[in-house]
Amino acid sequence: MFDESLLDDPDGLSRADLHGLLRGAAESGARVRTAVRDAAEAGIDALRPDGRPRAVLVAGPGPAGGSTADLLAALAGDSCPVTLIRPAGVAPAPGALRWTLPGWTGPLDLLLVASPDGTEPGLALLLEQAYRRGCTVVTVSPAGSPLADATAQVRGLAIPLTVTPYEAAMAGATPRNDDSLVPLPTGPGTLWSLLTPLLALADRIGLAEAPPAALEALADRLDHIAERCGPAIATYSNPAKTLAAEVADTLPLIWTEGELAAAVGRRFATVLAALAGRPALAAELPEALTAHGTLLAGDFAAGADPEDFFRDRVEESEALHARVVLLRERGPDVTSPAGAARELALHRDTPVSELEADEDSSPLETAADLLATTDFAAVYLALAARPARP
């Protein structure tokens, strides 16, 4: 159940925000600036690479690692293949996850490891594999963590994870029985702490365009979005609150156009599940029209079950219907499938929410527009949720 009235109650949102999610989203710009400085102090600015690596491998626990790899791959484009190494094992069991390098990995490749806590033993074993293969290693994890120590042992580059004073205070506070004081690893701020140093590295090795000026512009754009999407801004003029209200109590079908938008769409589906506990499906256009077409004609269609109009619904929860969320990197042109997507949704009586980056935005600014807005929307959905009546 979703309490829409809470969206325009900043004090109520603050009381509901036990994990500091709104603060994490609002401080993303400052976090990017600090992460750039931390990366420079770690030695990224002093790197003199001979050229781009043959391949970039990315590993990390949970959704954060996958989102980091996805966004790096989208920003790198065709310059170099970026591959996520998926773990095997039982995730809830401490130390049970294991990562394995592909058989072809060698001295020409680069391994990037992004971990919000740096305590996974399996990642330290992965670094040992990379060392034996002669693969270059760069990690982002908390300073002094086991992963940072393991990076030094294999002569890799360890970049400290940027944390805010608020997060440090929360981490040092005494948690309640439900650990509600602990910052969530899937929170909006954590992604930028992991991604920013890797963007600076990507610029040094020619993987993506992310010079210091571009990263400063990224931070400025994140600040601007935080002003537009903050809790004090009313829903009618707040794109994140509007999106949260539109997709609440629906099944979001996140349709994306463009590689960067596709990465953001998958991230949005991930945080909706991880933060707000809400299901969502992401697919790229034009394939989404086929992949989700049956959903729009079945039980999740807005007009489903019309013949049962007179059924008594007082004691029943409202049926879950689909809503299309269209994410685009730029305005549609004559070759864009966005028009066909709207027509299909209109034909099936399915509402559509649209989010598009500002015109003439750089790839990094486009990522900021889409990522920050959808992250804020997921946070508002999480905070305004209320349990259903028994």
Task: Please write the tens of the pLDDT for every residue from 236-265.
Answer: 999 999 999 999 999 999 999 999 999 999
Q: Give the mean pLDDT of 338-365.
A: 91
How far apart, in whole angstroms, are the C-alpha atoms of residue 24 and residue 222?
12
Tell me the one-letter amino acid at 68.
Answer: T
How far apart, in whole angstroms, are the C-alpha atoms of residue 367 and residue 259?
11
Q: Report the predicted TM-score, pTM, of the whole model to 2 decimal places.
A: 0.90
Confidence check: pLDDT of 390 > 70:
no
Q: 65 vs 56, 72, 114, 233, CA distance in Å? A: 14, 11, 6, 32
How far apart, in whole angstroms, are the C-alpha atoms of residue 20 and residue 9?
16
What strands lie across the sheet with 352-356, from one edge to the other? 281-284, 250-257, 321-328, 352-356
How far apart, in whole angstroms, are the C-alpha atoms of residue 252 and residue 240?
15
Sign of the four-CA dihedral 374, 185, 70, 226 = positive
Q: What is the pLDDT of residue 96?
A: 87
Mean pLDDT check: name the lowest of 133-137, 156-160, 164-168.
Answer: 164-168
